[in-house]
């Protein structure tokens, strides 16, 4: 009985539904045909928020930042002319007198192709309305001609004002006024996790903007080969690729927090991490290059290590961060200022330093003759000492450009030989190659550390001052004469300037 009632009800419901549908159909035949369909879902605009400096939530929008910065970032093309006749010639362009001396066969096979251009590209950042542009030293260091292209496609030939291999920075100048500028910020105030944009010209794609965060600060990745390298990089996960070198890393206000310099990658392309030179170091370097043509860098004169858990146990330290002073250079600025071996440097001018790279980055902002206050922990006692920084020669004088350029070019630490060693070698004086770095000497000669230079192109050099004077304003080939302690006879090394 229940089953019959259920079936009857189902049939009744079906008939009723059919009638309703039929009635709608008949009604619609008398009217304009109407189609019924489910309306599409209108997507809501998503909003991402971040926290401003006052702790208030604000909408995260990169468009305004990109518009603010992109006009102030330029494309750089550097062209180096290389003569095919020098393939196989480790000395580069040598004057005929050297070619006649050694013979053509010494320089390897000659090619009739003549000079051929080698072109590299990178990025740069306009830092003043009158045409000063900052970029990486490695973008322009080998260039014979530099061309800068603005975002609006105007082209200019650039002049190199100065370079600093120690930080991998270079300052260029173009002849123009009223240019868009990227303002510098205080890189000490950037925080890990903060949003940043990288702006540059990667992989031949001009005016590219990528977004990411500050991943870390105070990174040392041992990429700079200069003998006084300063590596205190800001690490970011904003995509940086070849061609981004010299470009801008900016905060959401469009202010420069760093100059993009390097990537950590097994392939040579972006794989997660990029590195930028902090803007506070950039500001110091470019001011020195404008004012002096060379960076005036103060030196503490200490051998240091970053404090970690192992060192804390070894030295029985009550903390695991800071910079441990292993030893001091004799008559150094640190020694004169009261720093001692075993001290742990915790702050420079009130700013904490947790690693040796952070300490190097802080000291790199000061010139010889300037005094910095260091907060030290000495066997549990906290004390502040004032240290007046020296230059690399051990005094407070400002360095002249020719001296520093020659040392960087040669890639060597040179010292005047002491009288006892000179007497043992039966020479009146000379210059000792104390240490070698990447440069002309290591690249183009077989010279070794300990070599005593006695003559430059036949001219006697009894001390470092005379050696520098002999190379000042020199071009073309150079012949060094000297000897090694304990090795009979004289040795000769030739290279090109």
β-strand partners of 197: 211, 250
Q: Beta-carbon neighbour count of residue 176 at 10 Å?
A: 14
Cα–Cα dist 28/31, whole Å: 5
Q: Which of 407, 472, 402 is nearest to 433 (CA)?
A: 407
Query: Is residue 314 packed enough to be buried (19+ CB in 10 Å), middle (13-18) or exposed (0-12)?
Result: exposed
Is residue 416 within 8 A of residue 423, CB to CB? The reply is no
CA dist 395 and 317 (Å) reads 33
Which residues are CB-neighbours of 422 under 8 A, at least 6 positions away? 428, 429, 430
Instruction: Enumerate the active-site residues.
Output: 138, 168, 245
Angle (CA) 466-470-472 rounded to 5° is 115
Closest CA to 431 of 411, 458, 456, 401: 456
Select from 392, 404, 346 the least CA-distant residue to 373: 346
Burial class (CB in 10 A: 0-12, 13-18, 19+), 127: buried
Q: Give the chain's largest Cα–Cα span.
A: 132
**299 within 8 A of 390, measured Cβ to Cβ:** yes
User: Cα–Cα distance between 139 and 261 in angstroms, integer?
Assistant: 10
């Amino acid at each position: 009985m229940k089953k019959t009632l259920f079936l009857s009800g189902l049939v009744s419901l079906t008939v009723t539904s059919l009638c309703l549908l039929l009635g709608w159909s008949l009604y619609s035949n008398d009217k304009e045909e109407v189609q019924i369909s489910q309306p599409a879902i209108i997507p809501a605009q998503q909003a991402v928020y971040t926290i401003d400096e006052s702790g208030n939530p604000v909408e995260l929008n990169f468009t305004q930042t990109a518009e603010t910065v992109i006009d102030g970032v330029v494309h750089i093309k550097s062209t180096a002319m290389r003569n095919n006749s020098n393939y196989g010639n480790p000395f580069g362009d040598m004057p005929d007198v050297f070619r006649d001396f050694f013979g053509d066969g010494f320089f390897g096979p000659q090619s009739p192709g003549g000079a051929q251009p080698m072109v590299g590209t990178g990025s740069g950042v306009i830092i003043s309305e009158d045409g000063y542009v900052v970029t990486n030293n490695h973008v322009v260091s080998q260039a014979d001609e530099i061309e800068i292209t603005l975002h609006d496609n105007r082209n200019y030939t650039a002049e190199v004002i100065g370079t600093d291999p120690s930080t991998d920075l270079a300052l260029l100048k173009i002849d123009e006024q009223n240019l868009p500028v990227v303002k510098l910020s205080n890189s000490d105030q950037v925080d890990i996790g903060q949003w940043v944009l990288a702006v540059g010209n990667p992989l031949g794609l001009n005016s590219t903007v990528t977004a990411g965060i500050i991943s870390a600060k105070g990174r040392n990745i041992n990429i700079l080969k200069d003998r006084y390298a300063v590596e205190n990089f800001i690490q970011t996960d904003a995509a940086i690729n070849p061609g981004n070198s010299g470009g801008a890393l900016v905060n959401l206000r469009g202010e420069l927090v760093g100059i993009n310099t390097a990537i950590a990658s097994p392939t040579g392309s972006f794989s997660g991490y990029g590195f930028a030179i902090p803007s506070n170091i950039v500001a110091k370097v470019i001011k020195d290059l404008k004012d002096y043509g060379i960076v005036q860098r103060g030196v503490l004169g200490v051998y240091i290590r970053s404090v970690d858990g192992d060192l804390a146990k070894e030295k029985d330290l009550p903390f695991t961060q800071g910079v441990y002073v292993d030893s001091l250079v004799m008559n150094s600025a640190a020694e004169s200022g009261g720093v001692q071996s075993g001290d742990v440097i915790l702050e420079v001018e009130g700013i904490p330093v947790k690693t040796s790279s952070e300490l190097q980055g802080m000291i790199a902002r000061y010139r010889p003759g300037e005094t910095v206050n260091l907060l030290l922990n000495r066997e549990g006692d906290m004390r502040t000492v004032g240290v007046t920084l020296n230059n690399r020669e051990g005094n407070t004088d400002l360095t002249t450009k020719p001296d520093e350029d020659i040392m960087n070019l040669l890639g060597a630490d040179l010292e005047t030989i002491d009288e006892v060693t000179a007497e043992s070698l039966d020479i009146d004086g000379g210059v000792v190659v104390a240490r070698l770095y990447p440069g002309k000497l290591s690249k183009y000669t077989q010279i070794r550390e300990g070599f005593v230079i006695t003559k430059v192109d036949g001219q006697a050099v009894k001390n470092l001052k005379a050696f520098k004077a002999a190379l000042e304003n020199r071009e073309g080939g150079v012949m060094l004469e000297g000897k090694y302690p304990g090795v009979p006879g004289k040795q000769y090394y030739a290279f090109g300037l």
